[in-house]
A = this chain, B = another copy of it.
Amino acid sequence: MATSTVENYLKATLLYEQKHEGIVPMSALVEALGVVPGTVTTMVKAMAAQGLLEHEARQGVRLTPVGCALALGVLRKHRLVETFLVQTLEMDWSEVHVEAEALEHAVSNRVLEKIDAYLGHPTVDPHGDPIPNAEGVFATSATQATMQDCTLKKSLRVTRILDQSADFLDYVQDHGLKPGASVKILKREEASGVLQCELVDGEEIILGLPAAAKIVVGGAA
């Protein structure tokens, strides 16, 4: 059995691989796991010896097929638990990430599949992040743009929030930009770095472009 530390290293590696091309630098794991560089080197070597990672000296790591399968299992637990905490226990949307971080290592597959069934086999979590199925496969979803690079003056649906920080999530929630919400981008100014959008209820919001890049929107709403 993988310890929860090993599971965290696997999950961090997977998340980085999903966002970037090529090898995962050690510094990415240092950042994600909040440990000093030497610790990452030590752990990575041990995990490579176990066949969970490939370690290219002075370059970084890549998940092996075995490591990838385990990492997908952890991600599945994390996202299903988050969904459960929000939908069933009605917890605050911005506080469940921390809770899921602990529970993902304690929930057995048996309990997990009960939760999955109880929720009706959801394919995305409350942030809109996709949930892999028990075989590690993600449901294919339409290609999606963010509020920073989508078409203007068209009614769009928010499908995903690419930031887990409580601050940003609180902001998003307070302004009704949660997944499912319908928005229309009115104006986007590269010069000033801000963007203006409108909700269904007519409320207008001004967002910085970096923030806008964290909000994914799907096809027409």
A: residues with CB less than 8 A from B are: 85, 88-91, 95, 99, 102-103, 105-108, 110-111, 114-115, 118
Contacts and interface: CB of A to CB of B under 8 A. Distances in A.
B89 A99 contact: no
A102 B108 contact: yes
A153 to B, nearest CB: 42
A114 B89 contact: yes
A74 to B, nearest CB: 14
Nearest to A118: B89
Count of chain copies = 2
A108 B114 contact: no
A118 to B, nearest CB: 6
10 contacts: A85-B111, A85-B114, A89-B111, A89-B115, A90-B114, A91-B111, A91-B114, A99-B110, A102-B107, A103-B103
Would you list the 4 A-B pairs with minimal beta carbon distance, nearest first? Answer: A106-B106, A89-B114, A102-B106, A103-B106
Contacts of A88: 88, 118
Contact of A95 (B89, B106, B110): B110
Contacts of A89: 111, 114-115, 118
A90 B99 CA distance: 23
Contacts of A91: 110-111, 114
A111 B97 CA distance: 12
Contacts of A115: 89
Nearest to A102: B106
Contact of A105 (B106, B107, B110): B106
A108 B99 contact: yes
A199 to B, nearest CB: 29
Given A89-B115, A103-B103, 19 more contacts: A85-B111, A85-B114, A88-B118, A89-B111, A89-B114, A89-B118, A90-B114, A91-B110, A95-B110, A99-B108, A99-B110, A102-B106, A102-B108, A103-B106, A103-B107, A103-B111, A105-B106, A106-B106, A106-B107
